[in-house]
Amino acid sequence: MTFAIFAAIVGLYIWALSEAKGRFTWGDSAWLNVAIHVNGVPYVNWQGGPESSGQPIHPTRQLSMRPPIFEFATPIPGTYPPWYDPAYWNEGVRITRSPRDWAAAVKHQIRLYAILLILQLPLLFAFAVLFF
């Protein structure tokens, strides 16, 4: 019974998202995160590159190189549309499957979590002292 309720809710979500995107999907965050964190594609205002990552279909319009000024008035309304729907602005990105890039991304994440853990050790110690 629980699985049926879960499947109904998820099915409605997938249906609504697929209708909005015009293709079957349950989300675009996975490929977008790989493109950003593994392949080095910028999170916002991607204009193409690195070379193996393809070209954006809907890039933000760059008005000036120095300083970098971008325009994105249409077609998505909002205060800052590249954050509202990053999958739209990054459509066209190709993911390259390079073991070297994956290893570098994993190494970076391990280093980041180690630093966070070290920074939190005094707080964890304080909680342990208060607990005991």
Q: What's the rounded Cα separation, in Å, for the pair 81 and 92? A: 17
Domain hosting residue 34, numbered range: 27-97
Average pLDDT over residues 36-48: 91
| Mean pLDDT in residue range 104-121 | 93
Stated pTM of the model? 0.74
Contact 45, 68 (CB under 8 A): yes
Q: Identify whether 59 is part of a domain.
A: yes
124 pLDDT band (50/70/90 cuts)? Answer: confident
In a domain, residue 131? The reply is no
Residue pLDDT, tens place only, 50-93: 888 999 999 999 999 999 999 988 888 888 898 888 889 999 99
Residue 70 lies in a domain: yes
Distance CA 12, CA 106 (A): 34
Judged against a pLDDT cut of 90, whether residue 7 lies above it is answered with yes
Looking at the domain assignment, is residue 115 inside a domain? no
**Could you give the number of structural domains in the chain?**
1
Domain-embedded: residue 103:
no
In a domain, 43, yes or no: yes
> Is 63 part of a structural domain of the chain?
yes
Residue 7 lies in a domain: no
Mean pLDDT of 25-32: 91
Copy the structure tokens of residue 8.
Answer: 């109904």
Contact between residue 85 and residue 110 where contact means Cβ atoms under 8 Å apart = no
Coil, strand, or helix at residue 96? coil
What span, in angstroms and rounded, lies between the C-alpha atoms of 62 and 77? 18
* Residue 32 pLDDT level (bands cut at 50, 70, 90): very high
* Mean pLDDT computed over 10-18: 95
